Amino acid sequence: MKNTLFSNSKLIIYTDGGSRGNPGKAAIGVVVGEKEYSEYIGIKTNNQAEYMALVFAFKKTRQLLGKDKSKKTELEVRMDSELIVRQLNGQYKILDTELQPFFLEVWNLRLDFKSVVFEHIPREQNKKADSLVNYALDNNR
């Protein structure tokens, strides 16, 4: 059976990061096509976790697709963090110096793909990624 994740030149990714406490115990949740990932990431802020989810998503997507296919793939990244989306779309400056390295890493990783669009979505439309964050937090994994 053909894997639908790789059949199109456009791929939709959902990401979420969260912490219980700010900073506090944190985790990420990522949905790449039909594949789901969650990971406990230690003590982080909410915004750090959001960026770490993006970094994970880009690296995992490149691993799944391979270098050549990645260069031909358009990504649409959907997340419920308005702050991070606006920073990545150039609407907000990154004033928090602790977020700047995460921003630069995401900015460089996006070059592995044909194009990347960052879209802010309501939390209700990001339930799967959010549930993956909570799963990792509840199970510390």
62-106 pLDDT tens trace: 999 999 999 999 999 999 999 999 999 999 999 999 999 999 999
Neighbours of 109 (CB within 10 A): 17
User: Is the pLDDT score of 4 beyond 60?
Assistant: no
Q: What pLDDT is attached to residue 140?
A: 85
From the list 16, 6, 1, 4, the residue with the least C-alpha distance to 77 is: 16
User: Is the pLDDT score of 57 beyond 80?
Assistant: yes
For residue range 21-33, what is the model confidence (pLDDT) as tens digits?
Answer: 999 999 999 999 9
Helix, strand, coil share (%) of the chain residues, nearest 5: 45, 30, 25
Q: Indicate the pLDDT class of residue 2, thresholds 50, 70 and 90.
A: very low
| Domains in the chain with CATH codes | 4-139 (3.30.420.10)
pTM above 0.75, yes or no: yes
User: Is the pLDDT score of 1 beyond 50?
Assistant: no
